[in-house]
Copies of this chain bind each other. A is one copy, B any other.
Amino acid sequence: MGNSRVTVREIARLAGVSVATVSRVSNGTGQVSEEMRRRVLDAIEKYGYRPDHLGRALAARRHGALGLVFPGLSGPYFTELIQGFESEAVPARASVHILCTHLREDSDDQVLEMARRVDGVAVVGGTISDPALLRLAEMVPVVVLAGRGPETVPSVSVDNAPAMARLTRHLLVDHGLRDLAFVGNPDGSPDVSERWAGFRDAYRELDLDPPAEPVRVAMQQPDGVLAAERLLTGGAAPQAVVCANDEIALGVLVGALGRGLRVPEDLVITGFDDAPMAALVAPPLTTVRQPIRDLAAEAARSILTAVDAPGAAAPDSIVLPTEFVVRRSCGCPAESPTGGTGK
Assess A73 versus B79: contact at CB under 8 Å? Given A221-B277, A280-B222. Answer: yes
Interface residues of A in 191-212 (CB under 8 A from B): none
Residues from chain B with Cβ under 8 Å of A255 in the complex: 280
Instruction: Tell me the A92-134 residues at the B interface (CB within 8 Å).
Output: 95-100, 102, 110, 114, 116-117
Interface size class of A (residues with CB under 8 A): 35 or more
Interchain nearest-CB distance for A188 vs B (Å): 16
Q: Distance in Å from the Cβ of A230 to the closest Cβ of chain B? A: 14
* C-alpha spacing A54/B57, complex, angstroms: 7
Contacts A139-B3, A225-B280: A95 and B117 contacting too (C-beta < 8 A)?
yes
Residue of B nearest to A104 (CB): B90
Tell me the residues in window 7-61 of chain A with beta carbons closer than 8 Å to chain B beta carbons: 50, 52-55, 57-58, 61
B280–A139 contact, CB under 8 A? Answer: no
Say whether A52 contacts B95, CB under 8 Å: no
Cross-chain contact A257 with B282 (CB below 8 angstroms): yes
* Cross-chain contact of A281 among B110, B138, B254 (Cβ < 8 A): B254
**Interface SS majority for chain A:** mixed
Q: Are A90 and B110 in contact (CB under 8 A)?
A: yes
Q: Cβ of A80: which chain B residues have Cβ within 8 Å of it?
A: 74
Q: Which residue from chain B places its CB closest to the CB of A140 in the assembled complex?
A: B1
Does A167 make an interface contact (CB < 8 A)? Answer: no
Least Cβ–Cβ distance between A172 and chain B, in angstroms:
28
Given contacts A280-B225, A280-B254, contact A97 B97 (CB under 8 A): yes
Chain B residues with CB under 8 Å of A76's CB are 74-75, 220
B221 A276 Cβ-Cβ under 8 A: yes
**Which residues of chain B are near A96, meaning CB under 8 Å?**
97-99
Name the CB-closest residue of B to A135: B3
Cβ distance A75 to chain B, nearest Cβ, rounded Å: 7
Q: Which of B53, B114, B140, B225 touches A117 (beta carbons < 8 Å)?
A: B53
A183 within 8 A of B: no
Residues of A within 8 A of B (CB): 1-4, 50, 52-55, 57-58, 61, 63-65, 72-76, 78-80, 82-83, 86, 90, 95-100, 102, 110, 114, 116-117, 138-141, 220-222, 225, 251, 254-255, 257-258, 276-277, 280-282, 310
